Chains A and B, each alone.
Chain A
Amino acid sequence: MNLLDVEDLWVRFPTSSGMFEAVRGVSFSLGRERLGIVGESGSGKSMTGRAILRLIRPPGQVDAERIDLEGTNLMQMSEKEMRDVRGSQISMVMQDPKFSLNPVMTVGDQIMEAYQLHNKTNRREAKARAIEMLEAVSIRDAERVLRAYPHEMSGGMGQRIMIAMMMIPNPKILIADEPTSALDVSVQGQVLRIMDKLVQDRGMGLIFISHDLNLVADFCDRVLIMYAGRIVEVCQADRLHEATHPYTRGLLNSLPRLDAPKDRLEALVRDPDWRHQPSVSGLK
Chain B
Amino acid sequence: MAEKNGKGRAAPALPRWANTTLSTLGSVAVTMLGLLFVTFIIGRVMPIDPVLAVVGERASQETYDAAFEAMGLDKPLLVQFGYYLWDVLHGDFGNSLLTAHPVSEDIKRVFPATFELATLGTIFGIFFGVPLGVMAAVRRGSWIDQVARVVALVGYSMPIFWLGLMGLLVFYGILGWVGGPGRVSIFYEDMVPVVTGMILIDSALDGNWTVFKDAFSHLILPASLLGYYSLAYISRMTRSFMLEQLSAEYIITARVKGMSERAVIWRHCFRNIRVQLITVIALSYANLLEGSVLTEIIFSWPGIGSYITTALLSADMNAVLGGTVVVGLIFILLNIFCDLLYKVLDPRAR
**What is the bound-complex CA distance between A94 and B250, given in angstroms?**
9
Is residue A199 contacting chain B, with contact meaning CB distance below 8 A? no
Whether the pair B271, A86 counts as a contact (CB closer than 8 A) is no
Please state if A94 and B272 are interface contacts (CB–CB under 8 Å).
no
Chain B residue numbers with a CB within 8 Å of A44 are none
CB of A125 within 8 Å of the partner chain: no
User: Which positions 243-286 of chain B face chain A at CB distance < 8 Å?
Assistant: 248-250, 252-260, 268, 271-272, 274
**A117 at the B interface (CB under 8 A):** yes
- Assess A87 versus B271: contact at CB under 8 Å? Given A99-B250, A151-B347: no
The answer to whether B348 and A149 have CB atoms under 8 Å apart is: yes
State in angstroms the CA–CA spacing of A90 and B256 once bound together: 8
Residues of chain A from 64 to 95 with CB closer than 8 A to chain B in the complex: 83-88, 91-92, 94-95
Q: Is residue A200 contacting chain B, with contact meaning CB distance below 8 A? A: no
**Which residues on A sit within 8 Å (CB–CB) of B255?**
53, 55, 86
Shortest distance between the CB of B254 and any CB in chain A (Å): 7
Whether the Cβ atoms of B258 and A84 lie closer than 8 Å is yes
Chain B contacts for A118, CB-based, 8 A = 258
The answer for the CA separation of A105 and B348 in the assembled complex, in Å, is 11
- Cβ-neighbour of A117 out of B252, B258, B274 (below 8 A): B258
A114 contacts B by Cβ under 8 Å: yes
B347-A104 in contact (CB<8A): yes
* B257/A117 in contact, CB under 8 A: yes
| Nearest CB on B from A10, distance (A) | 21
Q: Which of B249, B258, B346 contacts A104 (CB 8 A)?
A: B346
Tell whether A166 is near chain B: CB-to-CB under 8 Å. Answer: yes
CB <8 Å contact, B348 and A114:
no
What's the minimum C-beta distance from B185 to chain A, rounded to whole angstroms? 48
A165 to B254, CA, bound (A): 11
Produce 1/0 per residue, B328-350, CB < 8 A to A.
Answer: 00000000000000000111100
With contact pairs A102-B268, A104-B345 given, residues A94 and B252 touching in the complex (Cβ less than 8 Å) = yes
CB atoms of B271 and A104 under 8 A apart = yes
**A96 contacts partner chain B, Cβ-Cβ < 8 Å:** yes
Q: Is the CB of A85 within 8 A of B348?
A: no
How many residues on A have C-beta within 8 angstroms of the other chain's C-beta atoms? Answer: 32
Known: A94-B249, A103-B272, A104-B272. A113 touches B346 (CB 8 A): no
Closest-by-CB residue of A relative to B255 is A55
| Interface range, B side | 20 to 34
For B268, the chain A residues whose CB sits under 8 A away are: 102, 105
Q: Which residue among A92, A96, A102, A114 has the maximum number of chain B CB atoms within 10 Å of its CB?
A: A102
Chain A residues with CB under 8 Å of B250's CB are 99-103
Chain B residue at smallest Cβ distance from A175: B256
Most chain B beta-carbon neighbours within 10 Å: one of A55, A87, A88, A151: A87
Among B249, B272, B346, which residue has its beta carbon within 8 angstroms of that of A100? Answer: B249
In whole angstroms, what is the CA distance A233 to B249 when docked?
30
Tell me the chain B residues, 296-350 only, with Cβ under 8 Å from chain A: 345-348
A166, B271: Cβ atoms closer than 8 Å: no
Instruction: Please report which residues of chain B, range 43-60, place their CB below 8 angstroms from some CB of chain A when the two chains form the complex.
Output: none
User: Which B residues, 25 to 78, have Cβ-Cβ distances below 8 Å to chain A?
Assistant: none
CB contacts (< 8 Å) of B258 on chain A: these are 83-88, 117-118, 169
* Cα of A49 to Cα of B256 in the assembled complex, Å: 11
The docked-state distance in angstroms from the alpha carbon of A94 to that of B272 is 20
Asked whether A83 lies within 8 Å of B260 as measured between CB atoms, the reply is yes
Complex Cα gap A55–B249 (Å): 12
- Cα-based distance from A83 to B256 in the complex (angstroms): 8
Chain A residue, CB-CB nearest to B246: A57
| Cβ distance A167 to chain B, nearest Cβ, rounded Å | 12
Chain A: CB-nearest residue to B247: A57
Q: A101 and B256 in contact (CB under 8 A), knowing A151-B347, A151-B348?
A: no
Residues of B within 8 A of A91 (CB): 256-257
Chain B nearest CB: distance from A138 CB in Å? 21
Contacts of B256 in A (CB 8 A): 53, 55, 86-87, 91-92, 166
A100–B252 CB distance below 8 A: yes
Structural contact, B345 and A87, CB atoms closer than 8 A: no
Which of B260, B271, B274, B345 is A102 in contact with, Cβ under 8 Å?
B271
CB of A135 to closest CB in B, whole Å:
21
Instruction: Contacts A91-B256, A103-B348, A104-B347 known; list 7 others, CB within 8 Å.
Output: A53-B256, A83-B260, A99-B250, A101-B253, A102-B272, A117-B258, A166-B257
A-B contact pairs, 21 of them (CB 8 A): A50-B252, A53-B256, A55-B252, A83-B259, A87-B259, A92-B252, A94-B252, A95-B249, A99-B248, A102-B272, A103-B250, A103-B346, A103-B347, A104-B271, A104-B346, A106-B347, A113-B259, A117-B258, A117-B259, A165-B257, A169-B257
Q: 3 closest Cβ contacts across the A-B interface?
A: A87-B258, A86-B258, A99-B249
